[in-house]
Amino acid sequence: MSTDNTVCIVVDIQERLTPVLNGHQLFIEKSCQMLQGLQALEIPVLAAEQYPKGLGHTVAAIKEQLGDAPIFEKTKFSAWQPEAEAFVRQHGAQNIILIGVEVHVCMLQTAADLRAQGFGVYVPVECTTSRTTENKENGLAQMQNLGAVVSNIESLLFMLLKDAKHPAFKTISKLIQ
């Protein structure tokens, strides 16, 4: 995994869905932290929204971190849709960092589709949630069984940094403290 072959897909962090999720405030905070780190590393980001007419749009805090990153609508649970495929191919990505909800449904189906296509899938555990802890744990276990790497913010950002001489090192170091 490197800054040259990695993108991030943000899955369904939406206005009407997020408030009912387990630990949603910390989840949003950590997802913003991850997105700030990815921005410092110039990792391309794409966001998906599951049926926004019913679930609302991406929450304001996340949308602010996304800047001008593209957002597409979907009705299928997996975010591996033509828009995502075009984005991933455009950036020559081999590895995908997934953040979002719900772990045991949309995130899991996205990870399964990405793994079936041969992509490396990385999931920072702090940047995912479900309505219940059990569903989150079960979804993460299923992702691991599919070959996804369930990790954490700090490990993934430092995996992308690779060297303390990287221009974003100080920014990332301050971000994770």
* Residues taking part in catalysis: 12, 74, 106
Distance CA 79, CA 104 (A): 13
Distance CA 142, CA 58 (A): 26
CB-CB contact of 31 with 66 (8 Å): no
Tell me how far the alpha carbon of residue 24 is from its chain's centroid. 15
Q: What dihedral angle (degrees, nearest 10) is formed by the CA atoms of 114, 22, 29, 175? A: -70
With a CB cutoff of 8 Å and minimum separation 6, the contacts of 36 are: 65, 175
User: How many Cα neighbours within 13 Å face the side chain of 91?
Assistant: 22
Rounded alpha-carbon distances, angstroms, from residue 64 to 35, 59, 68, 77, 112: 10, 9, 9, 24, 29
Distance CA 36, CA 40 (A): 6
